[in-house]
Structure 1
Amino acid sequence: MSRPAILLAMEPSRTEHVLPDEILRRLGSIGRLLDSKPLQHFDDERAKRLLAEAEILITGWGAPYVVPDIPATAKRLRLIVHAAGTVKGIIDDSIFEAGIVVSHAAEANAVPVAEFTLAAIIFAGKRAFRFRDLYVADRNRDRTHPMQREAIGNYGRTVGIVGASRIGRRVIELLRPFDYRLLLFDPMLDAAEATALGTEKVDLDELMRRADIVSLHAPSLASTRHMIDAGRLSLMKDGATLINTARGILVDEAALLSELKTGRIDAVIDVTDPEIPQPGSVFYDLRNVFLTPHIAGAIGLERARLGEMAVDEVERFMTGRPLLYQIHQANLENIA
């Protein structure tokens, strides 16, 4: 079996740890790495020279858009593996139409998101952030002791999962050992499928009313934009928590901020719309908001999973085995 020519395209500053030395060595045992320095553009002379030889392209965060003229430039290209999450905004439809196989490592990125969500759910159930703030502010336990008698904690609480995506399913799996009641909203699943996952299928309004903790895992589609609006936020119980590790656009942000300002609910927010709130946004100041800068996905050493999964797919492709995470053009409409 000939060793395929492999090319990288990603932003090095955004993909550190994705392809550490041991993964590059493994990749080198499968094929010929044309250049260890990733492409950051497809229109310069170096890129055109390397693309003409490439049979496999591994992309990552910060990769240039794989434009329609790539099939003509890279006539030997057979496989693109995206060593990151979504391929939306990275792979043009013409790539699929040219018969080039596309796969991705979104499953690897789902792992840390689900872990982050699990931690957020547990902390939300314990009201850990409010305990912390009171304890630090008072430097005594005059107000934290009475809180322990409230109907809080993680025993018998109801968690609502919005979206049985790969991340949503992983969160459900991680929650199985705990004593939660799990509600699931996903219009693509029927009641039997929801039951098989260990959840109860409900509509979104019912989930918002019943859940103590609501966790969002739906894709960003035209149909899901602002699915969590003022009306649905008003359905949430007093003291409930909204967790968003999916996409900021799922939530009507003005409505959410209005609700949060009342202090009636809490929120754990890892994604916003816009991606970085304006400096004057009250997101930064509200005591009932735990705001993080889009870190639920793979960061630091967690990124090595992305590279490992990408190389696994290359190896499967080269040995004639079915790819585990191949993306078909018809899938694009419904994936995150």
Structure 2
Amino acid sequence: MDDLDSRPAALLVMEERRRGDVYPPEVLDALDELVSWSAPPITAERLAQDPGVLADVEILLTGWGPPRLDADLLDHAPRLRAVLVAAGSVRPLTTPEFWAREIPIVSAASANAIPVAEFALAQILLALKQAHRIAREIRASRTYPVNPPVAGGYRSRVGLFGLGAIGRLVAAHLRRFDVEVLACDPVADPAGLGVRMVELPELFAACSVVSLHAPLLPETRGVVTGDLVGLLETGATLINTARGALVDEPSLVDVLRRRSDLTAVLDVTWPEPPPPDSPLFTLPNVVLTAHVAGALGGERARMGELVVDELRRLVRGEALRHAVPPDRAHIMA
């Protein structure tokens, strides 16, 4: 910027473990041109011990391990005018007191949606070939199947439960393939996505693969029951990259024990990780992937770059593209 003295005062607060991935040197260099740092980066725990460091802060930058913006912390930040979160959900840090101050808050959910959708797409394509099932049967029998019956990627049906940022991106990816996409989401507008909206039971009964992308809300907790999973056709696959608690795990386990033809690819579980004695570790038709769908390593820099772009708009007085509306914050993952 031409006038360095005009740069807003900023503070970066997040956990140290992932800070270097989210805010690598090139992202920090870009931020240096836009803000004046009130203090070196700190953790939320350190901020709780010294909240006075917020006294002159106008822009709060954060990511994983954010501070909770309750009334006490906000009282120490009278000049705060924007919060930029290089992560998906803003729920861990927002409070009624925060929303009452009408401070804009930016989420990098759209940047984190990219690797999740890529992972989901990869698993969907593998599932249409029943790759996981065939691989475990080969391992058990030590023979190759002859002409195995699989849905394949031509005129098969794929079901998406949830059409938020990730579900919509998955639907967009699937438009490149010769598959029919069914979706269930009571509040989404499916216009332009090329999907057919159905109720949840039909989604499971009609599709060779069902991929979960719904937010975790009181009404969606445990909504994916064993009864629903039992509707899946022979050899079908359930994929969960959303939230583990969407699935009623005990009833899912019961179905998977009875139906060895089914496969569950679970990138998320509840609790996470599962307890050591969980049957999810021993069921042969369960694939656990340890929450790798979201941004990892260098992928996390996308979220820092989104924050830089939004901060640039903010200091120029332009409209923010990724500000979270207060009435939608609760349904963002």
What's the TM-score once normalised by structure 2's chain length? 0.94
CA deviation after TM superposition for structure 1 residue 80, in Å: 0.4
CA deviation after TM superposition for structure 1 residue 251, in Å: 0.8
What SS is found at the alignment partner of 2:223?
A: coil
Structure-to-structure mapping, 1:59-208, within 5 angstroms: 59-137=62-140, 142=143, 144-146=144-146, 148-189=147-188, 193-194=189-190, 196-208=192-204
What SS is found at the alignment partner of 1:235?
A: coil
| Counterpart for residue 291 of structure 1 | 288
Moved more, 56-65 or 210-219: 56-65
Percent identical residues: 41
| Counterpart for residue 41 of structure 2 | 37
Matched AA of 1:123: L
In the aligned structure 1, how far is the partner of 2:41 from the partner of 2:292? 26
Moved more, 12-21 or 157-166: 12-21
Asked whether the 8 Å contact 1:195–1:201 carries over to 2, the reply is no
In the aligned structure 2, how far is the partner of 1:36 from the partner of 1:309? 21
In the aligned structure 1, how far is the partner of 2:108 from the partner of 2:148? 45
In the aligned structure 2, how far is the partner of 1:195 from the partner of 1:95? 34
Asked whether the 8 Å contact 2:66–2:92 carries over to 1, the reply is no
Matched AA of 1:324: R
Asked whether the 8 Å contact 1:96–1:102 carries over to 2, the reply is no
Distance change >3 Å, CA 229–CA 137, structure 1 → 2: closer
Matched AA of 1:194: P
What SS is found at the alignment partner of 1:295?
A: coil
Residues 1:23 and 2:27 aligned together: yes
| Counterpart for residue 225 of structure 1 | 221
Matched AA of 1:224: T
CA deviation after TM superposition for structure 1 residue 195, in Å: 5.3
CA deviation after TM superposition for structure 1 residue 209, in Å: 0.6
Asked whether the 8 Å contact 2:21–2:300 carries over to 1, the reply is yes
CA deviation after TM superposition for structure 1 residue 136, in Å: 4.4
Unaligned runs of 5+ in 2: none
What SS is found at the alignment partner of 2:210?
A: strand
Asked whether the 8 Å contact 1:245–1:270 carries over to 2, the reply is yes
What SS is found at the alignment partner of 2:327?
A: helix
What's the TM-score once normalised by structure 1's chain length? 0.93
Post-superposition Cα deviations, 1:245-282, rounded to whole Å, max 9, x if no partner, equal 00011110101111111214111101111121010111
What SS is found at the alignment partner of 1:81?
A: strand
| Counterpart for residue 6 of structure 1 | 10
Instruction: Supply the RMSD in Å over aligned alpha carbons.
Output: 1.6
Alignment equivalent of 2:327, drawn from 326, 330, 333: 330
